[in-house]
Amino acid sequence: MEQNKKVSPKQAAAIIIIAAVLVLGGVIGFFLYQNSKIETPEKRLKQYFQFVNDKEYEKMYHMLSEDSQSTISEEAFIEKNQNFYGSMEANQIKISIEEDDKSNSKRESARTLSYQLTMSTLAGELSFENSAIFSKNKDKMYMLNWSVQDLHPHLKEGEEIKAETSYPKRGNIYDRNGVMLAGEGTASSVGIVPGKLPEDREGAIAQIAEYLDVSTEKIETALSANWVKDDLFVPIRTVAKTEEALKAQLLTIPGVKISDTAVRYYPLGQSAAQVVGYTQNITAEELEEHAGEGYTATSQIGKGGIEKVYEKQLHGTTGCKVSVVDSDGNEKFVIVEQKGEDGKDITLTIDSILQSQMYRQLAEDKGWGVAMNPKTGEVLALVSTPAYNPNDFVMGYTSRAWEELNNDASKPLYNRCRSTWAPGSAFKPIVAALGLTQGSLTAGTEAVYEGLQWQKDSSWGNYYVTTLTDYSPKNLENALVYSDNIYFAQAALDMGTENFQKGLDSVGFNETVPFTMEYKPSTYGEDGKIQSETELADSGYGQGKILVNPLHLAVMYSAFANDGSMITPYLTKGEEEKTAYWKENVFTKEAAETVWNDMVQVVDHPDGTGHEAMIEGKTIAGKTGTAEIKASKEDTSGTELGYFMGIRDGDENSCLLIGMMVEDVKDRGGSHYVVPKVRECFANYK
């Protein structure tokens, strides 16, 4: 049996030392662990102002010390902060902290932090220095010793924040001659004075709801608002001043009152809808997007067209002054101020007379119209039909009316000018000018084929290009006059795929036309490449996968009036009035002149496809087009697009280009349905 060994004094001392170290380490570790859980005053202050940014005032209150909470209730605290930050629409609040004392120790029972606070407000940027005092509570958490100076260092007890806001008047939109396209108008506000409703209250409300095409729930909700009293007017719906019959019906119901109200008004209605646009109540998302710009939950904002593009200029600047006042309302000092400024008027190059004329010509159809001065670039008309009435957006659509508008098969909300379309034979002058410029085509080049169909060789199988008229000689002028598909299929093949694509790129394909409003770029081929020989041939006469934007097509045609250079289009007067070319010398001067003369023959020649556009004493160069929209060459159920692009010769002040396209012209004369419409506009516009 082994005997117990005695521990030596040295070993005992070592054990004691080790134990002491372990105990001390544990104590230090525990202290460090506990201390690490204590958030620093810096972190607490940053969290506080993050709550300010997020408008979480309740959470801010719970960061206050017990002493601070004993001096102000949660409700009063929230009200003061909402009044201060909310009145000036403070956002993007940023804090930069500098310590007042030199110690970073978390063991300090109280800490004072100096900081710089910066925020965006209705009145511009506000920045000031301030300080915050934190003290530890019984749980060792740093709590804010709050006072009104934490809102602003110059604010004293008993004083209040006063915010004065002045909202700007929206700018008007005018045409080139000063005719108002959008501005202040008057509508009729239909409402109810609750105390004057008849004994059969429910029946009266049901009748009002039926006449106004709104739900009874909407009316009841309006009547149950906190501010409503028996003798106050409660607005229900706005209707046009011209709705005399409707208003007469409504006024037979006791309690109904109708008064005038100022609204945004669009005199041309549907005629200029897609270019002018409309305004409507701002959405929650838009309100957030435009935070700090002077919008409120009841603001109107541009939703389309010029109203949207020039929203900032049209809206103006909201005036705002945030000041400190005493208990008697006397101003003590101004915290921040920005002077208000009414919105600026916008004057367009649009001519309301021509805009209305073109709309009337297209009103019964689905189509588009573009008019411009090809020598200056001024866009005189942009029409898309059918169209919505922007005044209806201002008045407010009922659910049923909005559903009908959205489900309308003719797509009145669709701006056809912004899209791209198969141009058909209206594209042939562009192909001709490219061929002449590249040298693959001359004015005397004659197509070689017999009959009314042609294929390059047997490798095309059953695929043929067809034309409608036999004529002679088969040169460029006659090919344009008779609109020969075969001639331009051969012209495209003679150019070759690479040169044809380079030519299209040179006139702006796959680019966005530089313009006030963004329009879809013209394209060719799949993924920007023509895939086959037959597709190249079809592209030569505006079929295949050629898709052209209406404004771009007009701009390409402008080269025929500018010795081969494409004008830059513009829509607003003033800043853009200096004539400039978007693409210079895309065609040679000789090529542009040759095609111009040939297009004059398209109109002047008795057999020309555009002869119906001829006006005695006027020189008009033009080209028709009928684009087939079908699944395949053999498809007989497809539809057709009818075109006429024309230029009335003149000087810089009188030269006029008008282009129109109408959908579904099959069995209605094709392009011949469109030509007289353009002629009428040429004849009636001086």
Token readout for 538 is 């079809």
Active centre residues (catalytic): 425
Both tokens assigned to 189: 């506000």
Contact 678, 587 (CB under 8 A): no
Q: In what order do the strands lie in the sheet with 367-372?
A: 379-385, 367-372, 656-662, 639-648, 620-629
Return the structure tokens found at 236.
Answer: 């229900």
Residue for token digits 């942009």? 382
Residue 476 dihedral angles phi and psi, to the nearest 5°: -65, -45
For 294: left if phi > 0, alpha if psi spans -120 to 50, otherwise beta; the answer is left
Judge contact between 623 and 601, C-beta under 8 A.
no
Instruction: Say how far apart CA 40 and CA 569 lie, in whole Å.
Output: 61
- Gap between the Cα atoms of 520 and 264, Å rounded: 29
Specify the DSSP element, H or E, that contains 81: helix 74-81
**Residue 158: CA atoms inside 13 Å, Cβ hemisphere, count?**
5
Query: Helix, strand or coil for residue 125?
Result: strand
Q: What is the DSSP string of 449-509?
A: --TTEE-SSGGGTT--EE-S---SS--HHHHHHTT-HHHHHHHHHHH-HHHHHHHHHHTTT
* Total residues found in the chain within this entry: 686
418-438 residues labelled b (16+ CB within 10 A) or e (exposed):
bebbbbbbbbbbbbbbbbbbb
- Break the chain down into helix, strand, coil percent, rounded to 5: 35, 25, 40
Cα-Cα-Cα-Cα dihedral of 65, 67, 70, 72, to 10°? -60
Q: Rg of the Cα trace of the chain?
A: 37
β strands within 137-174, DSSP E: 142-144, 160-166, 173-174
Q: Kind of pairing, strands 656-662 and 453-454?
A: unpaired
Sequence-separated (6 or more) residues with CB below 8 Å from residue 114: 97, 98, 99, 100, 129, 130, 131
- Residues 6 or more apart whose CB falls under 8 angstroms from that of 681 comprise 354, 357, 358, 361, 371, 658
Distance CA(400)–CA(386), nearest Å, equals 19
* 170 phi, psi to nearest 5 deg: -65, 140
Establish how many alpha carbons lie within 13 A of residue 412's alpha carbon, considering only the half-sphere containing its beta carbon: 21
CB atoms within 10 A of CB 534: 21
Bridge-based pairing state of the strands 300-302 and 620-629: unpaired
Closest to 106 (Cα-Cα) out of 25, 46, 37:
37
CA distance 659 to 624: 10
Count CB atoms within 10 A of the CB of residue 285. Answer: 8
C-alpha 526, offset from chain centre:
28
